[in-house]
């Protein structure tokens, strides 16, 4: 008989939800509630207005429309529609309050993940960082789907992690894997960004080194796929009925390709009123990356939005084929934007959206500093956290896979802080694990230490590319 696998730290604790975890979760929710109240009555901006329009159509006309440039997944517009239907004009505040409460689930999952992969000290640090992590806090009082999506997605990853760590135990049941798949599917109905992560996770399950037979691994992968498909299939069939095209959850890639893989360069983290000044502030290195672009391409006006977005994707790929040098240079700039210490929280200050107490210099400037330096510290600490401090091979492989997936799928196309938000919970976990064991002799692992130093060097180069532009922007907002 084979030996049973070592139980992770979380299973050896006396309580599944210890008091410190509950206390930190409540602290984080309280901080978000206070910021929500201090933020005042924010007027809808950009896509927020589109979500309200879709919700109004759903409530008053009984159908779900596309958003002209996107076919968004339906879950978040549905939540907005329910809030408006139940509370009328007060539905906007009710929805933000709901997002504040849901954020507590994200905080608890972050701490449970850190507890499972590292130890209690790391979990406490992760909870403290999450509680004051302003890029995440900001989205609780915006009408964007990120808060609800991250709570569902992180919970799915956590269940997947538990199942994967305990898959060889005789008493392991597939319910955790089934739950992970269902939550993953719900997440796709909120945001489709993780769509292609599903087959990647299945490949990991099949190729994993284990005592389990290939048939067992294949059946597990199929179970995960089917549990995801059960959730998204009804909406996929609806899309086929309405548009006559196969669309699993939504269609946003074409518009993102139009904005990101084109001669036009702009970073949506910067308020539009600052972009001309920032363009003048670009140094010679940035001009080398994005200056003197080739002629831009314009999207077709096909009446079927699926065809229109598909054609935009094809046009973007053709543009990249015709102009490989510019495409490669501009991708470097996009990735630099992706790791820059910017956020939509800072953008709201640049737009002048915050009024009242949050706009007072005595509060605004400390929040401003925290919003800049917290992502910097998390990014710096997450690299050794993943490569050195995280010794569990299963957890390390899973987290690195998710980080690499987002870095490859999102960062080079639309390099901005919103597309880093998907991995921020896992970066917080990794950075907290490194901080909890700071000073341990990890550097004796020379190969991993070299990788950490190399990654830090790449990160420093990317920050250098954006440094003057970011400093000019932050100075304007300050």
Is residue 192 within 8 A of residue 252, CB to CB? The reply is yes
Q: Which two tokens stand for residue 419?
A: 């597309």
* Predicted pLDDT of residue 461: 92
* Predicted pLDDT of residue 6: 45
* Predicted pLDDT of residue 318: 92
Nearest to 106 by CA among 364, 472, 470, 424: 424
| % of the chain at pLDDT higher than 70 | 89
Q: Residue 76 and residue 87: Cα distance in Å, rounded?
A: 16
* Predicted pLDDT of residue 291: 65
Task: Tell me the average pLDDT of the chain.
Answer: 85
**Residues 147-157: what's their mean pLDDT?**
96
Provide the pLDDT confidence category of residue 2 given band limits of 50, 70 and 90.
very low
- Torsion, Cα of 243, 249, 253, 259 (10° steps): 90
Q: Residue 77 and residue 83: Cα distance in Å, rounded?
A: 10
Q: Residue 97 and residue 433: Cα distance in Å, rounded?
A: 31
Is residue 342 within 8 A of residue 470, CB to CB? The reply is yes
Give residue-wise pLDDT tens across range 389-421. Answer: 888 888 889 999 999 999 998 888 888 888 999
Give residue-wise pLDDT tens across range 167-178. Answer: 765 456 688 889
Concatenate the DSSP letters of all residues of 7-71 into one string: PPGGGGSS-SS-HHHHHHHHHHHHHHHHHHHHH-SPPP-THHHHHHHHHHHHHHHS-----SS-B
């Amino acid at each position: 008989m084979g030996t049973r696998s070592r139980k992770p730290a979380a299973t050896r604790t006396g309580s599944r939800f210890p008091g410190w975890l509950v206390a930190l979760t409540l602290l984080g929710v309280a901080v978000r509630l206070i910021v929500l109240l201090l933020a005042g009555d924010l007027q809808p901006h950009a896509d927020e207005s589109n979500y309200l329009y879709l919700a109004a159509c759903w409530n008053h006309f009984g159908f779900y429309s596309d958003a002209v440039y996107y076919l968004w997944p339906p879950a978040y517009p549905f939540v907005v529609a329910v809030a408006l239907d139940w509370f009328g004009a007060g539905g906007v505040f009710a929805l933000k309050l709901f997002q504040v409460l849901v954020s507590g689930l994200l905080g608890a999952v972050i701490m449970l993940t850190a507890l499972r992969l590292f130890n209690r000290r790391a979990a406490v640090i992760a909870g403290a960082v999450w509680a004051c992590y302003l890029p995440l806090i900001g989205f609780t009082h915006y009408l964007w789907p990120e808060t609800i999506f991250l709570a569902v997605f992180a919970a799915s990853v956590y269940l997947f992690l538990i199942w994967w760590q305990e898959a060889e135990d005789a008493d392991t049941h597939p319910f955790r894997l089934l739950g992970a798949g269902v939550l993953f599917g719900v997440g796709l109905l909120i945001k489709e960004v993780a769509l292609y992560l599903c087959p990647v996770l299945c490949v990991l399950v099949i190729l994993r080194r284990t005592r389990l037979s290939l048939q067992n691994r294949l059946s597990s992968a199929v179970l995960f796929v089917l549990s995801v498909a059960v959730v998204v299939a009804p909406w996929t069939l609806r899309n086929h009925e309405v548009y006559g095209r196969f669309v699993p959850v939504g269609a946003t890639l074409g518009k993102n390709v139009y904005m990101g893989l084109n001669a036009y360069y702009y970073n949506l983290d910067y308020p539009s009123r600052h972009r001309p000044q920032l363009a003048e502030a670009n140094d010679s290195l940035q001009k080398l990356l994005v200056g003197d672009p080739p002629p831009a391409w314009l999207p077709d006006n096909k009446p079927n939005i699926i065809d229109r977005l598909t054609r935009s994707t094809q046009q973007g790929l053709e543009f990249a084929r015709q102009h490989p040098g510019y495409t490669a240079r501009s991708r470097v700039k996009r990735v630099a934007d992706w790791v820059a210490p910017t956020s939509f929280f800072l953008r709201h200050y640049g737009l002048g959206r915050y009024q009242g107490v949050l706009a007072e210099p005595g509060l605004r400037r400390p929040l401003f500093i925290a919003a800049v330096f917290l992502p910097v510290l998390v990014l710096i600490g997450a690299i050794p956290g993943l490569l050195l401090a995280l010794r569990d091979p299963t957890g390390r492989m899973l987290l690195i896979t998710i980080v690499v997936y987002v870095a490859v799928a999102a960062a080079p196309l639309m390099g901005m802080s919103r597309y880093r938000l998907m991995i921020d919970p896992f970066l917080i976990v990794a950075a907290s694990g490194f901080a909890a064991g700071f000073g341990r002799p990890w550097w004796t692992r020379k190969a991993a230490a070299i990788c950490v130093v190399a990654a830090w060097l790449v990160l420093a180069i990317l920050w250098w590319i954006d440094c003057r532009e970011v400093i000019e922007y932050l100075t304007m907002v300050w």
